[in-house]
Structure 1
């Protein structure tokens, strides 16, 4: 049940609101630790359960990404109608429990089933959080706030590489899965008592929107806007780059430089990316205040284009250390868009559509970025680009095309933003 509107208004941008933001970011970190840990532990799991490379890919990517992408849309709709707090806490409990019991897995079927439920439960998180944070903070703070939340992606991946990997090396993969699953169960209890549901659209004085619109009507309303379509496409290109480098950094360091031992160190650059995401969000809000709200898209262009020189130098570096550092710095730039992408979308839809819009956004970037990016780039490596630096050539082609095409989409989105933004 939501708090009375007058009492809820006092919470907007208050110290309590920032406390909730911190807790939600911690939950997001937990989700990405649990999501990424399978990739970190894959070699040990593969050896013990006698899995093929295809089965490892099925366990890590397909069993999670497809169900995550598909379920994000109905989960978004549910979050627009029912309690966002309940969806967040319930999702956290389920994916933490599934990760914990994965440590007892004796077969591929067991692990895939657990990953299936991790995907369903994690799909409930961000759509509900996007909607809730839009009510907890003022509109002019959203890029900053959403970027702090999005930083949890990279902190979580970094923890999975550094923490989960270390536990697995000291003990085994089963202990690592149990260790990363347990904290979420305790965080869920804290979240239940700390997070409060707020009235939707509380920052609007006049809430003139239809709360009974059908699912189809809401989706149609969202997608008919050119700015939204350019937004989805542009940030999908950036997600294409982000998921691809995450999937192939190991191949670059191992196949080109024979330095597989450096792969876990990539986790430090994931942690640094969390800082760049927050800085980018702050810069986006500053640009909006100094010039125009549509200038938030500029930071997407920065992410897509400024990373290219670093990727080029890193991918074709002669030493493994130089490759790790330069590619890591490039990723710090190219992945800085995450919080801005989610924040901009909130300005383009009505309050009772925010969670569903977030679900649509996550569906698009998951399908294009996670589902298409790595397989397509892998195909380029296998069939088009060969030789010692074949992987580098394929990756550079993909990153260049995505950076340029994404920036064009952001430029087009800026042209239509003013006509299609919702009053807030």
Structure 2
């Protein structure tokens, strides 16, 4: 497997595939007016396409495909995922009804769910512990970059050729990449049984057992899920700025987009690089780094909800809110991967993605939207301010769980300094 001898090239390739995934994912948002008009669908049906249908598929499949990536070739799992999501992106361009588009998008999400669990495990294997935060941050930079490029493509190629041709082109490009990726071997069939993942149910039991046995891992995952509630606040930010802060919808939309892309990407890179540098110097390692990031961002994020629009503190708080979630990706993933045995890495990553998508994305957005409606019905002034502030408080409140993770991690480090590290038990034994 000569390709593993060039980890930087592997990282660049996975970043490009991650970028492609988020371009395909966001194209439905970028062409929403045209797609709604062409397919004759309602706003509720469109909301189902971009929300529930995605979460139902992506979250569950991330766990299942993560377990497969722990047993079989990770490159083949990724290749299969890219092939499925690209083929269904192409099929999305042919959709003539809501039902056809919903089916296509369901399998786009299923295919994309294969990427992150397998990629995170692979990058953890190829890079040393001292560089993992940086590597994870660079990989997850594909999220803001993909969002930005998707808008750029929609405004250039899409404007000239239409949304259907854009979907066709992206689908064909992805299929070609999948076929090339399938030639990379990641053969683990000769590895001992205890170095490979178990069948799905047993593997999930193993992961749940790890969280019971390792409080630092449990607290870290809980904190990582909670910090994603900030994205629910971002879903209502533009509406809040226009309706309750009096800003112009057209100008603030482009400003939010530019700042979110800039500071989201900056957060991914800085979070990873700074996280690796500080993790060796502060108690709790990477979990302690996230505690520091939250402490630095909390005050301007809360102040931003109350200060005059356009002031320096207003933009400082807005940018801090864009920076913080992505800034946690490198340190959190590096810490999680460092706490679990190699044969469970993809499954743990898939389980984390499942929790994030169900609890922090689907449920949090639903609760936030319902809360706005209830507050309006009760005649509460500035209902959107109350709701976005609440999402800020929950996201910032994740500091409590990251602090507990840092505390337990520091204790484990001290224990390893005086006693040998316990050997990892085989998967089948762990699950008993």
TM-score by length of 1: 0.85
- Which piece of structure 1 moves more, 349-358 or 296-305? 296-305
The equivalent of 2:231 in structure 1 is 242
The change in CA–CA distance for 1:298 and 1:164 in structure 2 (over 3 A counts) is farther
Q: Is the 8 A contact 2:26 2:150 kept in 1?
A: yes
The equivalent of 1:215 in structure 2 is 203
Partner SS state of residue 367, structure 1: helix
Counterpart Cα distance in 2 of 1:336 and 1:163: 26
- Which piece of structure 1 moves more, 142-151 or 182-191? 182-191
The change in CA–CA distance for 1:212 and 1:42 in structure 2 (over 3 A counts) is closer
Instruction: Render the CA deviation track for 1:159-204: whole Å, top value 9, x for unaligned.
Output: 22333244444443323333443432333344345x552769x9xx
Partner SS state of residue 362, structure 2: helix
- Give the CA deviation at 1:335: 2.7
Find out whether 1:279 has 2:277 as its counterpart: no
The change in CA–CA distance for 1:187 and 1:269 in structure 2 (over 3 A counts) is farther
Correspondence 1:292-311 to 2 at 5 A: 292=283, 294-311=284-301
- Which piece of structure 1 moves more, 168-177 or 25-34? 168-177
1:371 aligns with one of 362, 375, 397: 362
The equivalent of 2:400 in structure 1 is 408
The equivalent of 2:427 in structure 1 is none
Counterpart Cα distance in 1 of 2:57 and 2:237: 25
Partner SS state of residue 81, structure 1: coil
Q: Is the 8 A contact 2:70 2:196 kept in 1?
A: no
Find out whether 1:52 has 2:45 as its counterpart: no
Correspondence 1:233-272 to 2 at 5 A: 233-245=222-234, 247-256=235-244, 257-272=247-262
Q: Is the 8 A contact 2:65 2:113 kept in 1?
A: yes
Counterpart Cα distance in 2 of 1:258 and 1:337: 31
The equivalent of 1:382 in structure 2 is 373
The equivalent of 2:85 in structure 1 is 95
The equivalent of 1:331 in structure 2 is 322
Instruction: Render the CA deviation track for 1:363-414: whole Å, top value 9, x for unaligned.
Output: 11111121112111112221126677431331012212320x2000011111
Correspondence 1:48-127 to 2 at 5 A: 48-127=38-117
Counterpart Cα distance in 2 of 1:345 and 1:269: 29
Counterpart Cα distance in 1 of 2:44 and 2:301: 28
Find out whether 1:29 has 2:22 as its counterpart: no
RMSD, aligned CA: 3.0
Counterpart Cα distance in 2 of 1:241 and 1:209: 37
Find out whether 1:342 has 2:342 as its counterpart: no
The equivalent of 1:134 in structure 2 is 124
- Give the CA deviation at 1:418: 4.6
The equivalent of 2:351 in structure 1 is 360
Counterpart Cα distance in 1 of 2:398 and 2:155: 34
What are the ranges of 5 or more consecutive residues in structure 1 without an aligned counterpart? none
The change in CA–CA distance for 1:299 and 1:100 in structure 2 (over 3 A counts) is farther
- Give the CA deviation at 1:210: 7.3
Instruction: Render the CA deviation track for 1:115-161: whole Å, top value 9, x for unaligned.
Output: 11011111111111111111111122111111111111111122223
Correspondence 1:315-326 to 2 at 5 A: 315-316=305-306, 319=309
The equivalent of 1:143 in structure 2 is 133
Counterpart Cα distance in 1 of 2:105 and 2:182: 24
Counterpart Cα distance in 2 of 1:409 and 1:208: 31
The change in CA–CA distance for 1:188 and 1:325 in structure 2 (over 3 A counts) is farther
Q: Is the 8 A contact 2:15 2:139 kept in 1?
A: yes
- Give the CA deviation at 1:76: 1.0
What are the ranges of 5 or more consecutive residues in structure 2 without an aligned counterpart? 414-420, 425-432
The change in CA–CA distance for 1:271 and 1:185 in structure 2 (over 3 A counts) is farther
Q: Is the 8 A contact 1:157 1:267 kept in 2?
A: no
- Which piece of structure 1 moves more, 411-420 or 365-374? 411-420
Counterpart Cα distance in 2 of 1:152 and 1:164: 18
